[in-house]
Structure 1
Amino acid sequence: MPLEEHREQVPVLKFPRQTIVSLLVFAVVWEILSHLSPYLGIPPFAIPSLLRIAKSMTTITPIDVAVTLARVIAALIASFAFGLALAMVMYNSRMLDEYLHPMIRILMAVPVVSWILFAVLWFPGVEFRIGFVLVVVCGPVFLVDTLDAMRNVPRDLRQMMRSFRPTTWQFFIKLMLPAIVPTIFTSWKVNISLAIRVVTIAELVGAVTGIGHQLSVAQELFSVSDVFAWTVVLVALLFLLEAGVARVEHRLLRWRA
């Protein structure tokens, strides 16, 4: 395949015509409802006009966006490192896997709100609380996805690799990690969306910076336009992070194109 054609297929952030049309229709319907809200018995502040939302967008503070983004990225990196390392250990030890796997499933079943309450009761620092909640929610997802991917590597490949008598490190570096790269990227995409939602809720409790804190302030002021504006920022961050992961995925997995 020519290089030019190959580049055209990069799955970077794209906006198909259908997406643009859907957004325009939503915007038109929203604007109509904002003007009809007094006749429908709905308070005017409940459905702000697009102009009010646009004014709220101009009040977005970059520092809060940067703080939330930094928290998400740092927590995802820590969660991935924790999940990958523990998955490697559990793959090598069947006994450890049998004891830890039920606990991992229990951790994944605990609601996010419960983890937030635990963090508030256990830890004094706000940043550590938020980081703890993000890691304890996203880490098990990385762990389970990675471990399942390792087990799905064809047995023939594993036996062939072991015939060369590799060390444990060589076995994972030369065979396992390259084989599970597609699953790792899928897990990253899932966890990005999860982390964006979790960090917003975690920042609502005790944080004085970040998008979650600003949403809490907007809620106290009954400012729906501010809530809408900060929500748009969250969605934009999600698309930005997913686009970055998609570009790295395309570069590392060119053989799939």
Structure 2
Amino acid sequence: MIHHMLSTLLNKLWSGWGTLAGVFLIFALWQIGFEAFGSLVLPAPMEALGRLIDLVALPSGFEYILITAKRAFAGFLLASAFGISFGLIAGWSNTLSLLCKPFITVALGVPPIAWIVLALLWFGGDDGTPIFTVFISTLPLIFAGALQGVRMREKELDEMAKSFHVPLIQRFWQVQAPQIVSYLFPAWATALGLSWKVVVMAELLSSTRGIGAGLAEARVNIDTASTMAWIVIVVGLLLVIEGMLLNPVKDYVEGWKHAE
């Protein structure tokens, strides 16, 4: 038991050092780019980080981050609710799964910029445009993950649980759900990352508040340092979400794979 805990801790520390090394490598390449092309093309990393601190210290800058986070999570949670529900229903029906395949292909093929234009016509420049764009862009991924999880589960385990007269609800939570989540989670994690990219794009074109609006202001002012600062904020938030939310959830839902 102690050996297993130490091994898990060392693996996590090694993973953390690997991530940190990757971040340092990015900053090193960034510094090389600054020295090669100048501050107008690529500002110095320390200049961008200083501008980041200034932006976060401003009430409006912190408000922009909260607004973007609210819109991204609102669209993502709506997509999760609808995508998982309909994906599970379609996965248990051969007819529905076949009917849904063309819709998934079409939905995945439409670029987010097209949804932004439609959302602008429907919702204007309010919260509805970025939230809807995140919802419609991430919904197909989550739906496909849930559907695939149901279709690819090991039916022999279901039959074995039935033979032991395990109740239906218990059979779903303890036998089927872990298998479904193992397929759903990668799509869900990808959709969460995509939601941040899409919401910033939608804000850039449609909103006067949020990180996307901050990027639009930096573009108008030809402020490369502020542009890079906003980009660092978005990437940093994604890394925090991955480390504090996605990885613990992944370890929990995939624990059954490593159970002895």
1:4 corresponds to: 6
Q: Which range is displaced more, 67-76 or 213-222?
A: 67-76
Indicate yes or no: 2:46 matched with 1:46: no
1:85-96 paired onto structure 2 within 5 Å: 85-96=85-96
How far apart are the structure 2 equivalents of 1:246 and 1:54?
26
The 3 A distance-change label for structure 1 pair 12 and 230 is farther
SS of the residue 1:208 aligns to: coil
Indicate yes or no: 2:28 matched with 1:25: yes
The two structures have a TM-score, normalised by structure 2, of: 0.84
How far apart are the structure 2 equivalents of 1:156 and 1:111?
40
How far apart are the structure 1 equivalents of 2:45 and 2:179?
48
Gaps of 5+ in 2: 56-60
Native 8 Å contact 1:11 1:246 kept in 2 = no
1:36-56: CA deviation from partner (whole Å, max 9, x where unpaired): x4xxxxxx5233334432332
1:210 corresponds to: 210
Q: Shift in Å at residue 141 of structure 1? A: 0.2
The 3 A distance-change label for structure 1 pair 128 and 237 is same
- Please identify which structure carries the higher helix content: 2
1:233 corresponds to: 233
Indicate yes or no: 2:156 matched with 1:153: no
How far apart are the structure 2 equivalents of 1:25 and 1:123?
43
Gaps of 5+ in 1: 38-43
How far apart are the structure 1 equivalents of 2:34 and 2:125?
42
Q: Which amino acid aligns with 2:44?
A: S
Q: Shift in Å at residue 30 of structure 1? A: 3.0
How far apart are the structure 1 equivalents of 2:209 and 2:153?
44
2:190 corresponds to: 190
Native 8 Å contact 1:67 1:210 kept in 2 = yes
Indicate yes or no: 2:50 matched with 1:55: yes
Native 8 Å contact 2:141 2:188 kept in 1 = no
SS of the residue 1:239 aligns to: helix
Indicate yes or no: 2:250 matched with 1:249: yes
How far apart are the structure 1 equivalents of 2:71 and 2:236?
16
How far apart are the structure 2 equivalents of 1:57 and 1:100?
44
How far apart are the structure 1 equivalents of 2:99 and 2:124?
31
Q: Which range is displaced more, 241-250 or 215-224?
A: 241-250
SS of the residue 1:76 aligns to: helix
1:4-45: CA deviation from partner (whole Å, max 9, x where unpaired): 3333334897242742552353143134225xx4xxxxxx52
Q: Which amino acid aligns with 2:138?
A: C
How far apart are the structure 2 equivalents of 1:94 and 1:56?
54
1:186-225: CA deviation from partner (whole Å, max 9, x where unpaired): 2222112211211111111221211111001111111111
1:114-125 paired onto structure 2 within 5 Å: 114-124=114-124
1:41 corresponds to: none
State the percentage of identical aligned residues: 23
Q: Shift in Å at residue 64 of structure 1? A: 1.0
The two structures have a TM-score, normalised by structure 1, of: 0.85
The 3 A distance-change label for structure 1 pair 125 and 158 is farther
How far apart are the structure 1 equivalents of 2:66 and 2:27?
29
The 3 A distance-change label for structure 1 pair 113 and 11 is farther
- What is the count of residue pairs matched by the alignment? 248
